[in-house]
């Protein structure tokens, strides 16, 4: 099938990385804690890739990505707990379902708000994020097991290396194929000049919605994998700060670069979690003091993203 044939180099590299990681995991070269961080990094990469499609490629600034991540996480947590799923194979349809749920919510919310631009879209997505947060905080009023502001406990641990790896590779290929097709071209046109895009015959409303829905789907899958990795969820995991996490990754990785996003996710998670291991708790509080400074410096130094090419004038 052409789908795989065109990506064989990528597949070989991925499989090699998988074998190395698997060996590390199997022979306990790295501690279970670090193993978990590795899986987490892959999940973050998958989710950030979604935001990169929305923002990096299509130019739709979203400050609510964590909300879709959260919707996926809570959906998966609820389903796996209620259906008492504990195997990888029955978990896969749940993952897909969670992606579809987040995508559907993204689609419905996207119809009205994607008409907005730049900072107004930012505030609208931020508002949606807050709404989801309010909902999660009160979720125990709808279903006791969702836990509300106490958090969701006792989620089966299912997420493993094979699962996250398989999904990431699958998603990278799909995303790459989309980006290098007419749809990706339209997204980039919209980012450059929406008015010109409609004038050459691109249905911009549909295309923006498509990018947004797809990005939210990835967030949903990422959230589901996350829920069944840590077995505990709390509404505060899905607030504005988490949205900013994803945003920083997309910016560092260079807007509109798939591999950049993957590298940036790994570096970012490694950086944050690495600091947690290296630094004492008191100094650790400094993280969120230093990160904004770096972010501001980055914006002033290179307003188009770190790994993006310098714009030729």
Partner 1 sequence: MDILGYVLQQGINGLQLGAVYALIALGYTMVYGVLRLINFAHGDIFMLGAFVAYFLIAKFGIPIYLVFIITMLACAIAGYLIEKIAYKPLRDAPKISLLITAVGVSLFLEYFLSLNAIFTPNYIAFPRPFDVKGYDLAVFTITNVQVLIFIITFISLFLLYLLIYRTNYGRAMRAVSHDKETAALMGIGIDGIISFTFIVGASLAGVGGILYSIAYPQINVFMGIMPGIKSFIAAVLGGIGIIHGAVIGGLIIGICEVFVSAFLSSTFRDGVIFIILFGVLLFKPSGIFGKRIEKV
Partner 2 sequence: MKILDVRNLEKSFGGVKAVDQISFHIEEGEVFSIIGPNGAGKTTMFNLITGLYRPDDGRIFFIDRDITKTPTYMLAHLGIARTFQNMRLFGSLTVLENVLSSLLSKRTYNLFSAVMRTKRFAVSEKAAEEKARKFIDFFGLSGKEDYTASSLSYGEQRRLELARALSTEPRLMLIDEPGAGMNPKEIADLAETIKAIRQRYSVTIAIIEHQMNLVMNISDRIMVMDFGEKIMEGTPEEVKKDKRVIEAYLGEEMD
How far apart (Å, rounded) are the C-alpha atoms in residues 104 and 106?
5
Least Å distance between CB 223 and partner 1?
21
Quick one: what does residue 162 bind among partner 2, partner 1, none, with the CB cut-off 5 to 8 Å set by partner type?
A: none
Give the nearest distance from C-beta 272 to partner 1 in angstroms. 14
Nearest alpha carbon to residue 52 among 194, 252, 202, 237:
252
| Closest to 47 (Cα-Cα) out of 187, 164, 143 | 164
Residue 200 or 278: the one with the smaller Cβ distance to partner 2 is 200
Question: Strand, coil or helix: what is 232?
Answer: strand
Judged by the rule CB under 8 A, the positions of this chain that interact with partner 1 are 61, 63, 112-113, 115-116, 118-120, 122-124, 126-128, 130-131, 134-135, 137-138, 195, 241, 244, 247, 251, 282, 285-286, 288-289, 291-293, 295-296, 299-300, 303-304
Task: Give the whole-angstrom CA distance, residue 75 versus residue 95.
Answer: 9
Task: Enumerate binding residues for partner 2 (CB under 8 A).
Answer: 1-3, 6, 174, 177-178, 181-183, 185-186, 188-189, 191-193, 195-204, 311-313
The nearest distance, CB 308 to partner 2, in angstroms, is 10
Cβ distance to partner 1 smaller for residue 162 or 193:
193
Smallest gap from Cβ 264 to partner 1, in A, equals 15
Query: Among residues 63 and 258, whose Cβ is nearest to partner 2?
Result: 258
- If we measure between CA atoms, which residue out of 26, 8, 121, 16 comes closest to residue 65? 121
Within the chain, strands assigned E span 152-153, 232-233
Report the distance separating Cα 81 and Cα 102, nearest Å.
19
Q: Which is nearer to partner 1, 120 or 170 (CB)?
A: 120
Q: Which does 153 bind (CB under 5 to 8 A by kind): partner 1, partner 2, none?
A: none
User: Minimum distance between the CB of residue 184 and partner 2, rounded to whole angstroms?
Assistant: 8
- Which one of partner 2, partner 1, none interacts with residue 196, CB within 5 to 8 A by kind? partner 2
Query: What burial class does residue 102 get, using C-beta atoms within 10 Å of its C-beta: 0-12 exposed, 13-18 middle, 19+ buried?
Result: buried
The whole-angstrom separation of Cα 264 and Cα 295 is: 14
DSSP H or E segment with residue 145: none
3-state secondary structure (DSSP) of residue 153: strand
- Report in angstroms how near the CB of residue 118 gets to partner 1 at its nearest: 5
């Amino acid at each position: 099938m052409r789908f795989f044939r065109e990506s064989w180099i990528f597949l070989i590299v991925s499989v090699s990385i998988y074998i190395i990681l698997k060996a590390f995991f199997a022979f306990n070269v790295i501690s279970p804690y670090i193993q978990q961080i590795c899986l987490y990094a892959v999940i973050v990469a998958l989710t950030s890739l979604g935001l990169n499609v929305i923002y990096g490629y299509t130019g739709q600034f979203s400050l609510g990505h964590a909300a879709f991540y959260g919707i996926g996480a809570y959906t998966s947590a609820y389903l796996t707990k209620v259906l008492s799923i504990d195997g990888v194979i029955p978990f896969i349809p749940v993952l897909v379902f969670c992606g579809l749920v987040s995508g559907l919510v993204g689609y419905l919310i996207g119809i009205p708000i994607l008409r907005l631009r730049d900072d107004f879209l930012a505030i609208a997505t931020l508002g949606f994020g807050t709404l989801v947060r309010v909902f999660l905080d009160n979720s125990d009023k709808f279903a006791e097991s969702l836990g509300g502001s106490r958090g969701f406990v006792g989620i089966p641990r299912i997420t493993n290396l094979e699962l996250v790896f398989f999904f990431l590779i699958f998603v990278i290929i799909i995303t790459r194929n989309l980006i290098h097709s007419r749809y990706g071209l339209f997204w980039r046109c919209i980012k450059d000049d929406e008015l010109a895009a409609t004038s050459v015959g691109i249905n911009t409303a549909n295309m923006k919605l498509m990018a947004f829905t797809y990005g939210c789907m990835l967030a949903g899958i990422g959230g589901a994998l996350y829920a069944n990795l840590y077995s505990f969820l709390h509404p505060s995991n899905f607030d504005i700060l988490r949205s900013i996490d994803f945003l920083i990754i997309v910016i560092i990785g260079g807007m509109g670069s798939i591999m950049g996003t993957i590298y940036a996710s790994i570096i970012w998670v490694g950086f944050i979690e690495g600091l947690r291991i290296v630094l004492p708790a008191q100094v650790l509080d400094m993280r969120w003091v230093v990160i904004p400074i770096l972010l501001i410096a980055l914006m002033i130094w290179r307003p188009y993203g770190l790994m993006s090419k310098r714009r030729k004038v």
